[in-house]
Structure 1
Amino acid sequence: MFSSLRDVPRPALILGLGGVIPFYLLSLPIWLTDPLYGYVLIDSMITYGAVILSFLGAVHWGAAMWQGELEEIREEDEEEMDRAAWARYGWSVIPALIAWIGTLLVPFAGLMLIVVGIGLAYFIDLRACRAGFLPEWYESLRKVLTILVLLACGNAVASGVTGPF
């Protein structure tokens, strides 16, 4: 049930960790720049976070397509398959909607919504992994990546550039 990062396919691990780099490239300089430039960095961070959050939903869309094919081959109960498909596809679009709203808000609220969305996606991913909907190794990868992303976002908030509004 529980795997380690050693179980993560090398391309997924390297590309996943690479996907965290922009969060740090945007959050670390905030402490060194004029607040005006800090807002540009925060806005860029929100936008990049929105892209990543949309990607996390797309993982579920892809898994739902593959799972649907497997269920059809196994000739499972059609009503149950339909209900599960609605849940899987339905969730897969929620992160993109959260992300879109995050890009429309003021910096602090936008970044907080992205953080909440990434956290929510993590917990949904945990449930999907434990239900066998996603590979076991994905849980380990998501845990590390989520922690790293949340630390970068926390750094941006701690800089004070986002302000309370």
Structure 2
Amino acid sequence: MLRIGASRIALRSMGAPATRLAPGFLHTSPAVKWTMQFGSLASKRPGAPQLSPMKPIQAAAMRRSITDAQKQAESRYAKEEIKPTPETVSSTSTTNAMSSEARADQPEKKEVDMTAGLKGDLATIRDTFSLSDVPREAYYMGLAGTIPYLATSITTVFCAWETNHSTAGYGYLLDEKNATQLLHLIEPLQIGYGASILSFLGAIHWGLEWAGYGGYQGYKRYAIGVVAPAVAWSTMLMPIEGALITQFLGFVALYYVDVRATVRGWTPSWYRTYRFVLTAIVGASIVLTLIGRGELPDHIPGSADRAKVFQEGSEERLSHDEEARANKQKKKDAAGSDNRAGEEKEDKTR
């Protein structure tokens, strides 16, 4: 070929490519690949690669290699209007790593609600303890029935606190003597009221049997109303701590029986939830009373110790009364003997 200046300039302008290009320029240079790698849609379009980094002769050759189909597709994409998609934008859509950028063909990742489990648990608890089906009269009267239990339990804790914090025999509101007397007064009140409530809950099954609710069950349902007052009556003869524990176990056992009865259809469907709420209040009151009594000073006698003291005091008073009666009889006998002796002397003098 002719080695003229123009030909040398043309050959120098082409230069040697960094990599060997295949026929048809199907592969682009690394620079072109790098700029196209992270495009969401541009990497999928069958258009011509970017030609700006190429030299003029290489760009001209690349333009000649583009087919008519590619030109039509490129013109179609050029006229395409990009529509906004705000639903695809999230708090993590712009924080993906470069090597794992979201593509158009990948499904969108939904945001995970971290509080979904907690919300589900709260909804379950709300549905479990829903008392919307409970008759309002039974609901209000049942809650009112727990007030005496709560009052006696709080009073027990208050008396225990007063006796422990009394200074020189005087507390903030009551002295130790009055607090102890009040504590001894409310003990039989709480035990007696608990026994009556336990008996009442057992008697409800008798009423359901007479009404034929869920069918007539006979002795099985009558037995519930018999065992409950028997257990309640036995607590009246126990010391205060033993009576409270026995009544607590009685309330829990009767709640289990009521749940089983509700499952079998012997009671209304809302009855087990209603019973759970009331049993929880009564059980908490009993536990509160036991805690208060556990904080009493050692010199405050319990019910068993008071009974022993009363018995010993009664024996002492009885022996004292017998001794006084015997002394009185001796004095009377001595006075009678003196009178007879004086009469005998008068008879002899006559």
TM-score class, shorter: 0.7 to 0.9
Identity of aligned residues (%): 32
Q: 1:164 to 1:103 in 2, by over 3 A?
A: closer
Is the aligned partner of 1:22 residue 2:155?
no
Q: Runs of 5+ in structure 2 lacking a partner?
A: 1-127, 160-178, 305-350
CA contact (8 A) 1:3 1:137 kept: no
Cα distance change on mapping 1:3 and 1:24 into 2, 3 Å:
closer
Partner of residue 184, structure 2: 39
Structure 1 counterpart of 2:229, which letter? Answer: A
What pairs up with 1:13-162 in 2 under 5 angstroms?
Answer: 13-33=139-159, 34-67=179-212, 71=215, 84-160=217-293
Q: CA deviation at 1:30?
A: 1.1
For the residue of structure 1 that corresponds to 2:266, the secondary structure is coil
The amino acid across from 2:284 in the alignment is: L
| CA RMSD in angstroms, aligned pairs only | 2.1
Look up the match of 2:307. none
Give 1:66 shift: 1.5
**What TM-score do you get using the length of structure 2 for normalisation?**
0.41
Structure 1 unaligned runs (5+)? 72-80
> Structure 1's 99 and 35: CA in aligned 2 closer, same or farther, altered over 3 A?
same
Letter in 2 for 1:112: I
Separation (CA, whole Å) in 1 of partners of 2:240 and 2:196: 16
Aligned to 1:76: none
C-alpha change, 1:3 and 1:28, in structure 2 (3 Å) is closer
Verify the 8 A CA contact 1:108 1:163 in the aligned structure 2.
no
User: Which 10-residue stretch deviates more, 86-95 or 33-42?
Assistant: 33-42
The TM-score with structure 1 as length reference comes to 0.84
**Structure 1 or 2: more helix by fraction:** 1
The range that moved more, 93-102 or 154-163, is 154-163
| CA deviation profile, 1:43-64 (whole Å, cap 9, x unmatched) | 2111000010000001011111
Count, aligned residues: 152
- Partner SS for 2:146: helix
Larger Rg: 2
Q: Which amino acid aligns with 2:290?
A: V
2:75 aligned residue: none
Contact 1:42 1:156 in 2 (8 A): no
